[in-house]
Homo-oligomer: A and B are copies of this chain.
C-alpha cells in the first residue's frame, strides 16, 4: 500500500537503512560491511552509493530514524497518568511492554557511544528538542508532591532507571545460573519513587 506511493529511490533507500540497522545492532558498525548491507537489502554493492555517499552516512541516516530516543520520547508522551507516581508506573510498563521484546533496542545508542564517541549526540538531541520540550511541559503539570530535584537530574535518573534495567537484564541473561526476575521492573520503579530506605526510623 504505502510502498506503492513511494518512489523507487525512496524504497531502496529505506531497504538499505533497514538492512544496515539489523546488521549493525547485531554486529556493531565496524564489523558490518557494505557488502553485507547490500546483500541483505537485495541489491548490488555499488547500488548503495546511489543513495548514500559513504558508510558513515548510512549510519547517520539510521540514527536519525531509529535512535532509541526517538522510540522512547514519543512513547512517554503517550503515557497516561494524573500524578507523578501514576505516570512513572505507567511509563515503566509502557516502555517495557513496547521495547522489552527488543532488548537490543539500546544497542544503537551504545554503538554510537563506543564507536563514535558520541559525536552524533548533538544531532540527535537537536532533532528531539521539540519532543523533549513538549514532554517537559506535560510532566510539569503532573499532580503529587515531589522532593526538590533539578529537572535535568530527574530526567537523567528516570532514563537511568531504564538503562540500568536493560543493561543488567542483558548481563544477567548471559549468566544462566541466575534466576529470572519477572517483577524486577516494579521494584525499580518503587526505588525510584520511594527509595530503598523504609520510612520508619
Contact = CB atoms under 8 A, between A and B. Distances in A.
A81 B30 CA distance: 45
Contacts of A181: 150, 152-153
Interface in A152-188: 152-154, 156-157, 159-161, 163-165, 167-168, 170-171, 173-176, 178-179, 181, 184, 187-188
The interface residues of chain A, by DSSP majority, are classed as helix
- The interface size bin for chain A is 35 or more
B167 A160 contact: yes
A122 B187 CA distance: 25
A99 interface: no
A184 to B, nearest CB: 5
A166 to B, nearest CB: 10
Contact of A107 (B114, B147, B153, B201): B114
Interface of A: 27-31, 84-85, 107, 110-111, 113-115, 118-119, 121-122, 125, 144-147, 149-150, 152-154, 156-157, 159-161, 163-165, 167-168, 170-171, 173-176, 178-179, 181, 184, 187-188, 190-201
